């Protein structure tokens, strides 16, 4: 199975009301904002969507809302991962029709061996016919998925790509160099996606694109077409916001920018906590600068 997820994927945030319930009106606005401004696919209920603090029913409601709003216009990737292999498999078996792919994080907290990670994903892949994007994010999981592990899993027919958020350029380049034909490599780090595309990466699953979908997706398109002069200019235009969005945790920063654009309230569910007043002011000022530039 060839990777169908290229270019700019956006890891959608989950908007909340003051009482911490899901703000579905804002979710519709956010989804339309992405579709209208050139992103290539939507990622629902990744970590940026605060998936650890949503119930199963809430996750399904978010997915249904995005699917109905999207109405088949873009591909939708749904996040299904965890550190209980059998439970992940059961969730996959219950997915509604209309999902185009799965993003599945390497098991966290348990700290399995590399062989344990391989067997986890082989079982997960056996529970669905959908294409699966592996997600390697050692800063969250506590363990790194090595290039050897990723390349072994790339031979599983419906494992089609990896979202690499290790930040290790040499590791990512090794995967790009040795991957089988049709296997995708996506950046999980907004700040380094342009240099990664220059060495063969196929795109990104982005946080920053929530706030600046047109500018960010243009940057990715230009880089993929080899127009690195244009891409570099956009990269440096967006870099201050990228740093700000992650300075005190994700998605607290990007929600401030989205609030500045009147797309949603900047509400988080605990244990996430709002960004400091100083950072909030900086994000609002920088958001206005980016929108004007």
- Domains, in order of start, for the chain: 7-227 (3.20.20.70)
For the record, the structure tokens of 176 come out as 């790009």
| 188 Cα distance to chain centroid | 7
CB atoms inside a 10 Å sphere around CB 293: 10
Structure confidence by residue, pLDDT tens digits, 98-148: 999 999 999 999 999 999 999 999 999 999 999 999 999 999 999 999 999
Q: What is the pLDDT of residue 1?
A: 87
Given a cut of 70, the residues of the chain with pLDDT beneath it are none
Structure confidence by residue, pLDDT tens digits, 63-107: 999 999 999 999 999 999 999 999 999 999 999 999 999 999 999
For the record, the structure tokens of 106 come out as 């390497």
pTM above 0.75, yes or no: yes
User: What phi and psi, each to the nearest 5 degrees, are found at residue 91?
Assistant: -60, -40
Hunting for tokens 């996430």 — which residue is that? 272
Among the options 29, 135, 215, 255, which is catalytic?
Answer: 135
Q: What is the pLDDT of residue 55?
A: 96
2 is catalytic: no
Residue 222 is inside which H or E element, if any? helix 213-224
* CA dihedral of residues 198, 204, 210, 215 (deg, nearest 10): 20
78 is catalytic: no
Among the options 29, 163, 215, 255, which is catalytic?
Answer: 163
User: What phi and psi, each to the nearest 5 degrees, are found at residue 181?
Assistant: -60, 135
CA distance 135 to 122: 14
């Amino acid at each position: 199975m060839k990777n169908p997820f290229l270019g700019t994927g956006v890891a959608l945030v989950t908007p909340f009301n003051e009482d911490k319930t899901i703000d579905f009106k804002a979710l519709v606005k956010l989804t339309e904002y992405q579709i209208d401004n050139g992103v290539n696919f939507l990622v629902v209920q990744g970590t940026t969507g605060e998936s650890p603090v949503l119930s199963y029913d809430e996750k399904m409601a978010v997915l249904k809302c995005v699917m109905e709003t999207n109405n088949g216009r873009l591909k939708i990737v749904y996040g299904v991962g965890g550190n209980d292999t059998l439970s992940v498999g059961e969730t996959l078996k219950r997915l509604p029709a209309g999902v185009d792919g799965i993003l599945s994080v390497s098991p966290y907290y348990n700290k399995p061996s590399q062989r344990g990670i391989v067997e986890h994903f082989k079982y997960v892949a056996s529970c669905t016919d959908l294409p699966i994007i592996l997600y390697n994010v050692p800063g969250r999981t506590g363990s790194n998925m090595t290039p050897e592990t990723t390349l072994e899993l790339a031979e599983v027919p419906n494992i089609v790509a990896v979202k690499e958020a290790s930040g290790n350029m040499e590791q990512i380049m090794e995967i790009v160099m040795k991957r089988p034909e049709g296997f995708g490599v996506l950046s999980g780090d907004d700040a380094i996606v342009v240099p990664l595309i220059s060495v063969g990466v196929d795109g990104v699953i982005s946080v920053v694109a929530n706030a600046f979908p047109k500018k960010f997706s243009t940057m990715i398109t230009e880089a993929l077409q080899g127009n690195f002069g244009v891409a570099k200019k956009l990269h440096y235009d967006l870099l201050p916001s990228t740093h700000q969005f992650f300075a005190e945790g994700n998605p607290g920063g990007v929600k401030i920018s989205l609030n500045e654009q009147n797309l949603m309230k900047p509400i988080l569910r605990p244990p996430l906590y709002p960004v400091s007043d100083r950072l909030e002011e900086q994000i609002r000022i920088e958001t206005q600068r980016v929108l004007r530039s």
